[in-house]
Amino acid sequence: MTSKNAPSTSAISSPASNKSGLAYQLRRIWHVGQDVVLPVGTFIALLLFWEFCVRVFEIPIYLLPAPSLIYAETAAEWSIVWGHTMATLVTVLLGFGLSIIISLPLGFALTSSRHVSNAIYPLLVLTQSIPKVALAPILVIALGANELPRVAVTFLVAFFPLVIAIATGLLSVPADLIELSRSYKTNRLQELLRIRVPYAIPFIFSGLKAAIALAVVGAVVGEFVTSDRGLGYLIQTSTAFFRMPLAFGAMVLLSIMGIVLFQIVGIAERILFPWSSSKQVFAG
């Protein structure tokens, strides 16, 4: 038997004949246009509508500042705003890093045996049922007025979906694959490292994406409670002095930070594990 019997090879290359021609090019431009122009256009239209409404109806600044004013005031204080942004970024990354360091062994432990799972799982759920905003002031007393309580809150907000995603991924390995690996006399460590962990990679990255988005939320919660810098702190102080445009500016920067970090995780997945990102797995 040769590859002529393989239907997939010819199927892959067959659309090539359609790739020339004006109709195809127009269709392609239309599709790219839909993917890029439509969302960007909608966003710009929304900003213009916002600006228009604020000016026409003379909405007071403390209710809703115009986009142009937000930009102007944020740009005017840029060096200060930038410092706050970096402070928040450090908290987010430390909390996210701590989540990874703790979630990986936790995920392994949860899936290692029913007993371990029974022992740990209720505790994990308990940590999620405690409101983090309520916990934060207590953590300040326990850990001191420094970076630690903020990182701890960030971790507590971010780590849970990651643990669940890791455990789900490790447990969703098909029984066939486990039997296959056992038939080659693998020990438990080999089974974990060579079958379960690679299989769980798409799940783990879903968890990482959820965790990085939540880490930004956690960092701001931490800053609200105890901080003298960071975008959360900036929002608090700006609103205290009715500097609404600056508070809005900080909020926009937080969103951008969340989007950029989320995208970085996605890009890292595509570069490091190209076979993983092609799989549409949504967990956590």
Partner 1 sequence: MNTALKARASQVPGHTTTPSLEAQDVTSINITNASKIFQSWDGDEIVALEDVSLDIKENEFVSLVGPSGCGKSTMLRLLAGLILPTGGSVEIDGTPVNEPRKETGIVFQKATLLPWKTIIDNVLFPLSVMREMKPDSEQTAHDLLSLAGLGGFEKKYPDELSGGMQQRAAICRALVHDPEILLMDEPFGALDALTREEMALELLRIWTERPKTIVFVTHSIPEAVLMSDRVVVMSARPGRILEIIDVPIERPRTFEVEARNDFQKCAQHIRHLITGK
Contact residues: partner 1, CB under 8 A: 1-3, 5-8, 174, 176-177, 179-186, 190, 194-195, 198-199, 201, 273, 275-276, 278-279
Give how far the C-alpha of residue 8 lies from the chain's centroid of Cα atoms, to the nearest Å. Answer: 36
Smaller CB separation from partner 1, 57 or 275: 275
The nearest distance, CB 204 to partner 1, in angstroms, is: 13
Smaller CB separation from partner 1, 17 or 278: 278
The nearest distance, CB 2 to partner 1, in angstroms, is: 6
Question: How far is residue 170's CA from residue 104's CA, in Å, rounded to a whole number?
Answer: 11
Q: Are the beta carbons of 118 and 94 closer than 8 angstroms? A: no
The nearest distance, CB 270 to partner 1, in angstroms, is: 14
Smaller CB separation from partner 1, 36 or 177: 177
Q: Residue 135 is encoded by which pair of tokens? A: 């916990």
- Angle (deg, nearest 10), helices 78-112 and 197-225: 140
The nearest distance, CB 176 to partner 1, in angstroms, is: 4
The nearest distance, CB 195 to partner 1, in angstroms, is: 7
Q: Residue 209 is encoded by which pair of tokens? A: 């994406």
The nearest distance, CB 15 to partner 1, in angstroms, is: 16
Smaller CB separation from partner 1, 200 or 244: 200
Q: With H, G, I as helix, E, B as strand and everything else as coil, classify residue 157.
A: helix
Q: Are the beta carbons of 161 and 217 closer than 8 angstroms? A: no
- Angle (deg, nearest 10), helices 244-272 and 197-225: 170
Smaller CB separation from partner 1, 27 or 279: 279
Go through 93-124 and write b for each residue having 16 or more CB atoms within 10 A of its CB, e for each that does not: bbbbebbbeebeebbbebbeeeeebeeeeeeb
Smaller CB separation from partner 1, 15 or 60: 15
Could you give the maximum distance between any two Cα atoms of the chain, in Å? Answer: 79
